Amino acid sequence: MSTGEEMPATAIYTEPVLRRVEVAAPRTAEAAVAEADAIKISTEHVSIMYGEKVAVRDVSLTVEARSILALIGPSGSGKSTFLRCFNRMNDLIPGASVQGEVCLEGENVMDPDVSVVELRRRVGMVFQRPNPFPMSIYENVAYGPRRRGQKDRRKLDELVETSLKRAALWDEVKDDLRRKSGLALSGGQQQRLCIARVLATDPEVILMDEPASALDPVSTLRIEELMRELREAYTIVIVTHNMQQAARVSDVTAFFTMAEDRAGYLVEVGPTGRIFTRPNERLTEDYISGRFG
């Protein structure tokens, strides 16, 4: 169990980032269109099974563009499985099956004619354990663009530099780009390198599965800061078992449960500030106040 789970909910609550303004006036058609535009991802009745076993149960939610959604809940509640549906990583798991719709800008990524390679470029992924390739820092970042056919040396140099800058790693590595292996970096630097590698492929959405759980506290804060910066340009979905982290970085929090034979069930989703102070559901309250892990 993570350390903060014994803390009262009010202590977990940091700055509220209430981006959703509830408007009572009737919406104009224009406002409705703008609102639809702002939705980057939506899932409709998504259920995911491993063989007969249900891991995610009928989940419908939306993620606004340029926001951070945190998926929280006890171990085994289906967070990683659900995260993987956004770029069809579950396709790679034998026996996994996905039902329902997963839409990226209104298009169902489950459609058989969707290019999975292109989908995974648009929706990049960062894993729990940093996994740089056994090659130089430069080649790690240039890898994706090269595979997509970019051969122009100057363009690659530029892309490597901007990606490393965006990932807040440039200053630490700029003198060793070609000499140093990605594997020779510290854990926190490796994770930022992996983020730079994803950014170099020009994604729209970044999925992060417990991206800081293998890192020390200082590196963790670095990654959190970076996420807040990246949010200006990207839509981020993060799985975290660290509730303070969810409270610090995310705009919206979705709470999944394992309770009462409802494993993989989405208990509630809402603005992070509210979820951590005034949850609607007893199950959420018990979890955030540490009564149920």
Residues in the site for Mg ion, rule: CB under 5 A? 80
Three-class DSSP category at 285 = helix
Question: Which residues pair with residue 48 across a beta bridge?
Answer: 56, 98
Q: Which amino acid is at 258?
A: M
What type of residue is 174? K
Q: Which stretch binds ligand ADP (CB under 6 A): 25-33, 72-80, 170-178, 230-238?
A: 72-80
Task: Among 75, 97, 108, 115, indicate the residue that binds ligand ADP (CB under 6 A).
Answer: 75
Query: Is position 50 an interface residue for ligand ADP (rule: CB under 6 A)?
Result: yes
* Cβ 79 to ligand ADP shortest distance, Å: 3
Q: How long, in residues, is the chain?
A: 293
Residue 80 or 163 having the CB closest to Mg ion: 80
CB of 128 to ligand ADP, least distance (A): 10
Query: What's the CA gap between 241 and 90, in Å, rounded?
Result: 21
Interaction between residue 252 and ligand ADP (CB under 6 A): no
When CB distances are held under 5 to 8 angstroms depending on the partner's kind, the choice from Mg ion, ligand ADP, none that residue 8 binds is none
Cβ–Cβ < 8 Å for 268, 262? no
Name the DSSP letter for residue 55.
E
269: β partners = 254
Instruction: Supply φ then ψ for residue 194, to 5 degrees.
Output: -65, -35
Does 79 contact ligand ADP by CB under 6 A? yes
For residue 181 the two structure tokens come to 């292996």
Shortest Å distance, C-beta 198 to ligand ADP: 20
Ranges assigned E (strand) in 74-233 = 96-104, 107-108, 123-126, 205-209
Q: Which is nearer to Mg ion, 67 or 80 (CB)?
A: 80
In the complex, least distance from residue 56 CB atom to Mg ion, rounded to whole angstroms:
12
Among the residue ranges 27-35, 37-45, 73-81, 214-222, the one whose residues contact ligand ADP (CB under 6 A): 73-81
**Residues in the site for ligand ADP, rule: CB under 6 A?**
50, 55, 73, 75-81, 93
